[in-house]
Structure 1
């Protein structure tokens, strides 16, 4: 399925719009660990994530997130993030066309 049409949660629209309001300049194509883990980043991410408490099940549980969206999950290309951070970044990558590279490479192999 084309990633632009993929729905990850019932709240995709709210997650995406709030994410882009909060993180207008964040380069989601190639994340850096400091984008999620620096003290400054945590100050912005914390209130963003906490607004989804009670709305997204296990919103603050840890999950793996790809740093470079054009590459698969590998030890070098993953970072530990919260579930709502994962949803925010991957929904944005889907909507903004950044996940097309992986989608096209996987669909051309079938």
Structure 2
């Protein structure tokens, strides 16, 4: 994951460690998760989503590709765990030393 901006690498490492507090800390205060058009804004909403659909189902992300498109970092990963399994694309927008937005698409 050496091609990743530090905030994105930190967020992905926390997710893979099933560290919800570390995952939430990687976001800005107004951070957003966009999961197929469903938006979760702020730490409480992101935690609720993650507990039900991401870290709460022991997500595992095996990064297979990283691309930079303008101000977005696009990460392709093989997703595993007790929830969705299969390839997904994650688009990250970084603001300073934190992630402002994480959008998930297949």
Same fold (TM over 0.5): no
Query: TM-score scaled by structure 2?
Result: 0.28
Q: Which protein has the larger Cα radius of gyration, Structure 1 or Structure 2?
A: 1
Query: TM-score scaled by structure 1?
Result: 0.27
Greater RCO (CA < 8 Å, at least 6 residues apart): 1
Structure in which a larger fraction of residues adopt helix: 1
Structure in which a larger fraction of residues adopt strand: 2
